[in-house]
């Protein structure tokens, strides 16, 4: 059965590779990118490579939380249901550390954007056929500091990245608990994969990008992952494993989500 799939950050890297794998099987694919020209180029490229005309796209800058909310509205208006959401968009290296609203840019793109998007379009996933959400975490996870979350403190790129990925994982586990009919899995797709983001950040890689795309495909579709909601898959080890200890701390999760709602309210969301 063909599924309706939305993949954020899918104009390059493992998001694009995963979209191609899924498109070749005839699924309805919605891509996302922040640059309209590049998005349209990739849509055309994937249509030709997959022989699948059911590929469309949405444009949004994930560093702008209000733009993410607008994106969610467009999706609700255009897509009757979603079977699969892959929250893949992420940022590490950036010429700026803060968004125009004064938030840590990695926290905004890697955590707040998928939070806002997913929570807003949950109703579409609830209508889906065996719906799943795959959240792109990382082997790098570090205790979330309130000041980094709110944008009042500045840390280096690797630390803010690690905090954003733990925040995403903590929310992912909580979302899974609150939505038992949606299989929600956090995944480290593999450390230092051969992607643009990794090249910019480290100048080297350990594994091909296809390793990440392969696990996203498996988590999205394979039956054996259907009952693994609320878990963390570590693709460096090839198994489900423990995330950072904070991801299992109810008090810290509650504190994170309360602060998140306060940030969104302060930004009119």
Band of residue 28 on the pLDDT scale cut at 50, 70, 90: very high
Band of residue 2 on the pLDDT scale cut at 50, 70, 90: very high
Q: Are the C-beta atoms of 126 and 182 separated by less than 8 Å?
A: yes
Residue 192's pLDDT is 44
Residues 6 or more apart whose Cβ sits within 8 Å of residue 240: 228, 231, 232, 233, 234
Average pLDDT of span 38-54: 97
Residue 209's pLDDT is 60
- Dist CA 138 CA 191 (whole Å): 8
Q: Which of 117-121, 239-243, 265-269 has the lowest mean pLDDT?
A: 265-269
In a 3-state reduction of DSSP, which class is residue 141? coil
Sheet containing strand 239-241, strands side by side:
55-59, 28-33, 4-7, 84-87, 132-136, 183-188, 231-234, 239-241
Q: Are the C-beta atoms of 241 and 188 separated by less than 8 Å?
A: no
Neighbour count for residue 189 (Cβ, 10 Å): 28
Q: What is the pTM of this model?
A: 0.94
Residue 268's pLDDT is 83
- The pLDDT mean for the chain works out to 92
Average pLDDT of span 22-48: 97
**CATH class for the domain made up of 4-266:** alpha beta
Average pLDDT of span 25-53: 97
Q: What pLDDT, in 10s, does the model give residues 134-191?
A: 999 999 999 999 999 999 999 999 999 999 999 999 999 999 999 999 999 999 996 5
Domain boundaries, the chain: 4-266
Band of residue 72 on the pLDDT scale cut at 50, 70, 90: very high
Residue 1's pLDDT is 81
Asked if the model's pLDDT at residue 215 lies above 80, the reply is yes
């Amino acid at each position: 059965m063909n599924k309706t799939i939305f993949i954020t950050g899918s104009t390059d890297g493992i998001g694009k590779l995963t979209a191609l794998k899924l498109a070749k099987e005839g699924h309805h694919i919605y891509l996302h990118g922040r640059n309209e020209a590049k998005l349209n180029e990739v849509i055309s490229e994937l249509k030709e490579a997959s022989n699948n005309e059911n590929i469309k796209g949405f444009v949004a800058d994930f560093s702008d939380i209000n733009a993410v909310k607008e994106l969610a509205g467009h999706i609700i208006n255009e897509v009757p249901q979603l079977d699969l959401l892959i929250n893949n968009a992420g940022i590490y290296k950036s010429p700026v550390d803060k968004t125009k609203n004064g938030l840590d840019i990695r926290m905004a793109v890697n955590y707040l954007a998928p939070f806002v998007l997913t929570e807003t379009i949950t109703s579409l996933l609830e209508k889906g056929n065996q719906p799943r959400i795959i959240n792109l975490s990382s082997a790098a996870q570090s205790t979330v500091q309130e000041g980094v979350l709110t944008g009042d403190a500045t840390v280096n790129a690797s630390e803010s990245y690690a905090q954003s990925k733990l925040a995403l994982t903590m929310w992912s586990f909580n979302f899974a608990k609150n939505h038992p009919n949606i299989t929600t899995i956090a995944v480290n797709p593999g450390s230092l994969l051969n992607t643009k983001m990794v090249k910019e950040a480290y100048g080297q890689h350990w594994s091909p990008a296809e390793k990440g795309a392969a696990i996203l495909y498996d988590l999205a579709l394979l039956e054996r992952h259907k009952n693994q909601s609320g878990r963390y898959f570590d693709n460096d080890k090839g198994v489900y494993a423990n995330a950072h200890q904070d991801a299992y701390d109810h008090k810290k999760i509650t504190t994170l989500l309360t602060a998140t709602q306060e940030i969104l309210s302060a930004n009119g969301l």
